[in-house]
Chain A
Amino acid sequence: MATETFTGHRGLDMDEPLIFEQGAAGMSGVDLPGAGEFEDRLGDAGRESETGLPGLSEPQVVRHYLRLSRNNYAIDAGMYPLGSCTMKHNPRLNEKLARLAGLADLHPLQPLSTVQGALALIDQCADWLKTLTGMDAIAMSPAAGAHGELCGLMTIRAALEAGGDGRAIVLVPESAHGTNPASAHMCGYKVETIPTNGRGRVDFGAFNERLGPDVAAIMITNPNTCGLFEDEIIEIADAAHAAGAYVYCDGANFNAIVGRVRPGDLGIDAMHLNLHKTFSAPHGGGGPGSGPVVLSGALAPFAPVPYVVSADDGYALVESAEASDASPYGRMKGFHGQFGVFVRTLSYMMSMGADGLAQAASDAVLSANYILAGLSDDLTLSYEGPCMHEVLFDDRFLAETEVTTLDFAKAMIDEGVHPMTMYFPLVVHGALLMEPTETESLASLDQYIGMVKSLARRAKQGEVAAFKEAPRLAPRRRLDETTAARNPVLRWLPGDKAAAE
């Protein structure tokens, strides 16, 4: 990195090498007694080469990780308007409860009689999620969103096959999430795309025309990935059901409608819930995802194991098809799902209450519409509002400037804000997809709008070079994404300075 200081640091922005490039072999933060006399029973398995472990003192190690943490950008540090990712505040109450020893120190193989409280927690969490979605059943085990999509499709497949129906096609609208076609493909279905209409929503005519006895399901995202509510969802579900197909809904955008709309009332048969988005568990490198799938009455009998049941003598887990009185298609995952995320989710739901959850959804939608209103004159809105939880702009406002969406995003890094989602969805050119969530205060939204407007003005005034050079104030300048993708350096080797850069 080009720098003017002797140390390479720039004020409080520390230039930190890899831990393997620091210290010296043989140095250690602790004094251990010698091994004394012992009989070597390793035989040929004993290591003869150096371990290559870095030798550092405790303060060196502490400084290393503290410095790295200061280069991290997180929702705890500032606004993170990454569209379709719902980067919202993770309440500290959730963390406190998830760390209670009685919950954090459980082992998944403990006897059921010793974990009745944990099973009650899973059951209660499941119950709240079914209530909020208006659905009959839930599979709690899927590990994250795309795993939930696969779980939902496998349930649909099991239901169809139980009726001797070998339908082979899954319809995915252009306005759906990008993982949907991949999940359908992985489940053995052939994917066909349904176009978007001029209003940024599913083209109902094209969908209706394509429906037929070979269509197993439609995978719809609602609100969709243009940030718009699919207002013909009931007609779409009715048409799908009349043709013998199921309706899968990608629930990644559920944060916009919690407490306002119950997907069960819209005719949806299966939907995953990203607990790590809507229900405020950490994600994006901060924690595991969790993607339970709610199911309609038609699909409920085929839900995968394990699931919690309540009996007179307490809670029990149904772990296999033999032990079930329904027709589970199998198991998605070892053990019971992401228990730590269930704790956070239940903590969030109980502390917010039904009214608080609905308020959060409304605030998320209001925040996005505030950005829509604040930026519509300077950026180009892709589809007429109002929007739901996220607002979609495209790059027409940059048309005469030589500045691209990528350059614009890099300039936002210099402003100390995580850039929005860019180049997705693909239905518009050079997309800029912004999702502020309910987390941001009015002052924060105003500052963001002011910042984006100032960047747009600078782009239009011809400050192209400044955009092409951005980011100028980050710990690293513009990364060469092309070379990184074409010639990835996946392993650091001693003396390999290039890899560290």
Chain B
Amino acid sequence: MAEIKYTEEHEWIIVEGDVAQIGITVYAQEQLGDVVFVELPAVGAEFTKDDQASVVESVKAAAEVYAPFDGEVVEVNDALEGDPGLVNTEPEGDGWFFKLKVADPSQLEDLLSAEAYKEFVAGLG
């Protein structure tokens, strides 16, 4: 199984071949509370790194999900439309958001390892 990577924006990324699956972390969904709505990007949309790719709304707040690198959306998780609670129950599994086709593999080197992300979250207090 491919290695899981993270960003400081609290997204996780699993790259398989040239396609990356992206969602938000356990920590991110805990901070948001019960998720009630997820706005997913359109399949075929092209993002550059740090573009806003999704919006996730909870009973407390709305937050943006950013493209962690350049790429084209090849698939989105339609299940979130009917059951946004998946983001809370299985944030790093069935609660994934979208898949990006990686445009520039060198950008993947900027992502955090599980260990580095854990340290980053611990530092947030």
State the A residues within 8 Å of B (CB).
406, 423-424, 426, 481-482, 485-486
Contact = CB atoms under 8 A, between A and B. Distances in A.
Which of A406, A424, A485 is most buried by chain B, counting CB atoms within 10 A of its CB? A485
B60 interface: yes
Contacts of B85: 482, 486
A281 to B, nearest CB: 28
B36 interface: yes
B117 interface: no
B59 A481 contact: yes
A423 B84 contact: no
Contact of B36 (A423, A424, A426, A482): A482
18 contacts: A406-B60, A423-B60, A423-B61, A424-B61, A426-B61, A481-B34, A481-B59, A482-B34, A482-B36, A482-B59, A482-B85, A485-B34, A485-B36, A485-B37, A485-B59, A486-B36, A486-B84, A486-B85
B55 to A, nearest CB: 11
A422 B110 CA distance: 35
Contacts of A481: 34, 59
Contacts of A406: 60
Contacts of A426: 61
Interface residues on B, range: under 10
A384 to B, nearest CB: 19
Contacts of B34: 481-482, 485
Given A423-B60, A481-B34, A486-B84, 15 more contacts: A406-B60, A423-B61, A424-B61, A426-B61, A481-B59, A482-B34, A482-B36, A482-B59, A482-B85, A485-B34, A485-B36, A485-B37, A485-B59, A486-B36, A486-B85
Contacts of A482: 34, 36, 59, 85
A406 B32 CA distance: 13
Contacts of B59: 481-482, 485
Main secondary structure of the interface of A (DSSP, over half): helix
Nearest to B57: A485
A426 B37 CA distance: 18
Interface of B: 34, 36-37, 59-61, 84-85
B32 to A, nearest CB: 10
B9 to A, nearest CB: 12
A266 to B, nearest CB: 30
A485 to B, nearest CB: 4
B16 to A, nearest CB: 31
Contacts of A485: 34, 36-37, 59
A191 to B, nearest CB: 9
A383 B34 CA distance: 28
B45 to A, nearest CB: 15
Nearest to B36: A485
Contacts of B36: 482, 485-486
A279 B72 CA distance: 50
B74 to A, nearest CB: 24
A406 B59 CA distance: 10
A280 to B, nearest CB: 30
Contacts of B37: 485
Contacts of B60: 406, 423
A392 to B, nearest CB: 16
B63 to A, nearest CB: 8
Q: Which 9 A-B pairs have the closest CB atoms?
A: A485-B36, A482-B34, A481-B59, A423-B60, A486-B36, A482-B59, A423-B61, A426-B61, A485-B59
Nearest to B52: A191
A485 B36 CA distance: 6
Contacts of A486: 36, 84-85
A423 B34 CA distance: 14
A426 B36 CA distance: 18
Nearest to A404: B33
A482 B32 CA distance: 12
A482 B34 CA distance: 6
Contacts of A424: 61
Contacts of B84: 486
A426 B62 CA distance: 10
A19 to B, nearest CB: 29
A426 B85 CA distance: 22
A350 B37 CA distance: 47
A406 B36 CA distance: 17
A481 to B, nearest CB: 5
Which of A406, A481, A482 is most buried by chain B, counting CB atoms within 10 A of its CB? A482
B125 to A, nearest CB: 9
A407 B85 CA distance: 21
Nearest to A405: B60
A421 to B, nearest CB: 12
Nearest to A482: B34
A485 B60 CA distance: 11
Contacts of A423: 60-61
A406 B33 CA distance: 11
Nearest to A430: B60
A136 to B, nearest CB: 36
A481 B84 CA distance: 14
B17 to A, nearest CB: 32
A167 B59 CA distance: 35
B54 to A, nearest CB: 15
